[in-house]
Amino acid sequence: MKKLLSFILFLIVSVTTTYSNEKIEISLLTCSEGKEAFTIWGHSALRIIDHNQNQDLVYNFGLFDFNTPNFYLKFTQGKLKYKLGLHYSQNFFESYKNKNREIIEQKLNLSDKEKSAIINELNYLYRPENRYYYYSFIGKNCTSELRDIIIDNTTNDFDRNSLTKKSYRQELNEYLTYRPWLKLGMCLIMGYKVDKKTTQFESLFLPYYLCYALRDIKTELGKPLILEEKVHFKTNQHKKSYPFYFHPLFILSILSLVYILVRSKSLQKSFILIIGMIGLLMLALIFYTEHYELKLNFNILWCSPLYLVVALLSKKNLSKKKTLSFINLIVMLLIIPIWLLKIQQFELFFLPIYLTLFIINIRILRE
């Protein structure tokens, strides 16, 4: 049934360009965040209303199938296929209304030629052989696909190559203020490539960044690119901040203080065992993922998989433990200039973990 509906929608949009574009409206839809982790940054879609055929459709680049075999493994490896899908606008809007998610609709001020270019590209991308793509956090997602289509197919005054003052990581982190544990995890596994300053064009990889940027863009005639803007299902979403005692910085600082004061061997072993497992995960991501955002991660210098070996070595192998701890200590120091030079961003939650590991290595060397 879904395949039949998809085929019918494809036939509908395929004949769109045979009619006059004067009665065609194209709008960017920007959807607010949802409850699930993957919806934190919101969502983007493109709405096309064709009054010639009395059709109202939404193009959505954010579709994926949770029933895909080895879903989480493929997502981690960067081998999960997303796809461009089509929805009837009424169904799309109803779905977001039921989830209490706001939608900003921005009708674009386009010439007939620009409308044709956008519709033709969407029709081309919706072909069965083209509609699937490999998702990337910052390089290829539901928003970046629409950014490319809108900016590339319109004549405008957008200065796409000038540098911004923000990096990819800083933009992503803005939405994680109320999700500190998720922020900690993402800051740990993302490599230095997300710390480069973005160009104006690159910065529009997140829904609201694209939405806000379009408000300032002018057409070749000096008119606003946004012809009209309205909000559907305006919500008053109150973001709950974490109490300080649930914040990772507080909890990690307390654990670090407990370790320093108690000097427990079992606590030390548990701590470095966890760090070693995290380091092993980071190493696997560096070598086995296609997500270039996760490669070349200098955090592995201090959050090293070698701690896993140190934790598993028995008392009889004290000399080996000391050798590994000495290596860990030296390698830990290498991350400091990387942080100071802002090659890869330092996060405050790292500090109690880093200091605890430093003390552990010193204590092992003094055994």
Average pLDDT (44-60) is: 95
Indicate yes or no: pTM above 0.75.
yes
Confidence band for 129, pLDDT divided at 50, 70 and 90: very high
Residue type, 231: V
Residue-level pLDDT at 4? 52
Average pLDDT (68-78) is: 78
Average pLDDT (256-273) is: 90
Asked whether the predicted pLDDT for residue 344 surpasses 60, the reply is yes
Residue-level pLDDT at 17? 44
Per residue in 12-33, pLDDT tens? 555 444 456 778 999 999 999 9
More confident residue, 363 or 66: 363
